[in-house]
Amino acid sequence: MKTSPKTRYALLGLLTLGPASGYDLKRLIEASLRNFWNESYGQIYPVLKELAAAGLATSRPDATQGRRARKVYTLTAAGRAALHAWLAEPVEPQPARLEILLKLFFGRHAGPAVNRRHLEQFRARNLAGMAQMDGIQAELQREYPRHLDLPYWLLTIDYGRRLDRAAVEWCDAALASLPASARQRPAETDRQ
C-alpha cells in the first residue's frame, strides 16, 4: 500500500453518493468537505488507480463523444466493506499546528499593532466561516430535504459554526485584554 489511507477512505465515502470521476470527486470535496478536508489532484488520481487495483472500485471509460476520456469510478461491495471497517475504527487525536497561536505566544516581541492585526484578521475569517455555514445549511436543507445523509452533513456544519463562533469570541476577549495602542514598543532586548 503506497498512498495515504485517509485519502482512500475520503474517496470511498464520496463514492457512496454515486459513481464519479477524479475531477468530479475534487469538485465534490470542494463543495461538501471543504471545511474540514481537502485533497489535491496529485493525491486523487493515484489513489483512485489504487482503489481500482485493490478491487474497492471499478473504473469504466466514459467516452462522451469528443471530450478527453473520462474515467468513472464505481464503489464495489469490497469498497463499501472497507469503508465500513474504517468508519468503525477509533479516531486518533491529531496534533494541530496553529500558526496564529504560535505568533501570539511570542506576541510580546511583535508589538500590540501586529497582534491586533492578526486577531482582527482571524476574527474576520471565522466570522465569514460562520456566515458560510449558515448559507450551506440553508442550501442543504433546501436541496436535499429528505436525503438520508442530511442529518450527518448538518452535524459537520454545526461543528464548523460552533468552533468559528468560539474563535470569534476568543478574538474579542483577546482584543479587549491586549494593550490598545503602540504605547509600548516591541521588546528589543529581554531576559525577563
C-alpha cell at 98: 496553529
Q: How far is the CB of 52 from DNA (least distance, A)?
A: 9
184 interacts with DNA by CB under 7 A: no
Site for a second copy in 42-101 (CB under 8 A): 80, 83-84, 86-88, 90-101
User: In which residue are the cell numbers 471545511 written?
Assistant: 35
Q: How far is the CB of 118 from a second copy (least distance, A)?
A: 6
**Which is nearer to a second copy, 53 or 113 (by Cβ)?**
113
Q: How far is the CB of 72 from a second copy (least distance, A)?
A: 15
C-alpha cell at 10: 475520503
The residues with which 57 forms a beta bridge, in sequence order, are 75
Handedness of CA 169, 173, 176, 182 (dihedral sign): negative
Site for a second copy in 150-169 (CB under 8 A): 150-153, 155-156, 158-159, 162-163, 165-167, 169
Q: Which H or E run contains 143?
A: helix 112-143
Measured CA to CA, the distance from residue 95 to residue 26 in angstroms comes to 25
Among 64, 177, 181, 192, binds DNA (CB under 7 A): 64
Q: How far is the CB of 65 from DNA (least distance, A)?
A: 7
176 touches, from DNA, a second copy, none (C-beta below 5 to 8 Å by class)? none
Report the candidate in 188, 167, 25, 172 with the shortest Cα–Cα distance to residue 96. 167
